[in-house]
């Protein structure tokens, strides 16, 4: 039996992070395959981040730009400070909630959305300590802008992404499983996928790419992907919401 709207999706999340989404998507009638393209490894700043978190006061802020930053601290931080915690999206907030921490989530799941929060405006953040929990590399927008607003910013690299050996299998799976929808939850994943799919090919033009933010969508556009949907977050709920809309409207390529 074919899936509604012909959705045949490849989930490229790291090992162990795609199975729940696969089950939820299958319940919608989508055909889903799992192929982790990146593995998450510890970053260099885990110990120093834990030490800085222990020094924070209630008026300070903690920002997590990924759930993987929180995973990295799981064995090191057993008591979170009373400072306001800010999660870049619902997936990160959900993990924090499991630790007993209620996080603020911006309307838009990106750095720009975080910077729009009232508690991070210049009159509210000046002279306050801000700890940013992030991965190696990426943008420095949060650090730069919050420092300009007068905050004392501490940024910690808690994890790093590394290509998985599965990358060599991507082209075959796309062809064999007739994948027409691909979930890429980071800029690194979009860039990896771009290296495999021939430029200006019919395959690239036909593929629907699901990305978590405006920034990642812009990166995909710069790489000449044409069918791109911003899911407004990397959580299962955000992806399922878009898949439901695609199912109802028939927005998938056969």
- pLDDT number for residue 227: 94
Cβ(88)–Cβ(192) below 8 Å: no
- DSSP state for residue 13 in the 8-state scheme: P
- What token pair was written down for 249? 């409207």
Cβ–Cβ under 8 Å, residues 69 and 134 = yes
Beta-bridge partners for 38: 163
Helices (H), the chain: 19-27, 46-53, 67-72, 90-98, 111-115, 122-125, 141-148, 170-176, 187-196, 202-206, 214-222, 236-249
* pTM, entire model: 0.84
Low-confidence ranges of the chain (pLDDT < 50): 1-5, 254
Domains present along the chain, CATH in parentheses = 41-161 (3.40.50.10090), 202-232 (no CATH)
Closest CA to 242 of 35, 6, 28: 28
What pLDDT, in 10s, does the model give residues 9-64? Answer: 999 998 888 999 999 999 999 999 999 999 999 999 999 999 999 999 999 999 99
Q: What span, in angstroms and rounded, lies between the C-alpha atoms of 153 and 137?
A: 17
Give the per-residue pLDDT at 3: 38
35, 169 in Cβ contact below 8 A? yes
């Amino acid at each position: 039996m074919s899936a509604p709207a012909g959705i045949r999706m490849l989930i490229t999340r790291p090992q162990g992070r795609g199975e729940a989404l696969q089950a939820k998507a299958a319940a919608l009638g989508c055909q889903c395959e799992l192929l982790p393209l990146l593995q998450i490894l510890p970053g260099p700043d885990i110990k120093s981040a834990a030490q800085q978190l222990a020094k924070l006061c209630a008026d300070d802020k903690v920002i997590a730009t990924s759930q993987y930053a929180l995973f990295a601290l799981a064995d090191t931080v057993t008591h979170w400070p009373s400072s306001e915690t800010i999660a870049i999206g619902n997936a990160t907030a959900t993990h924090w909630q499991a630790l007993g921490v209620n996080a603020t989530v911006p309307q838009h799941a990106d750095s720009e959305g975080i910077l729009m929060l009232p508690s991070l405006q210049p009159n509210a953040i000046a002279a306050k300590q801000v700890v940013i929990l992030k991965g190696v590399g990426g943008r420095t927008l949060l650090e730069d802008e919050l420092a300009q607003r007068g905050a004392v910013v501490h940024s910690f690299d808690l994890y790093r992404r590394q290509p998985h050996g599965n990358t060599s299998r991507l082209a075959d799976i796309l062809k064999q499983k007739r994948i027409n929808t691909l979930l890429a939850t980071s800029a690194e994943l979009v860039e990896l996928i771009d290296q495999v799919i021939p430029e200006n090919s019919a395959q690239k033009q036909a593929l629907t790419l699901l990305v978590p933010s405006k920034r990642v969508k812009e990166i995909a556009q710069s790489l000449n992907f044409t069918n791109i949907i911003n899911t407004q977050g990397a959580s299962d709920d955000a992806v399922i919401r878009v898949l439901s809309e695609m199912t109802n409207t028939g927005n998938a390529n056969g």
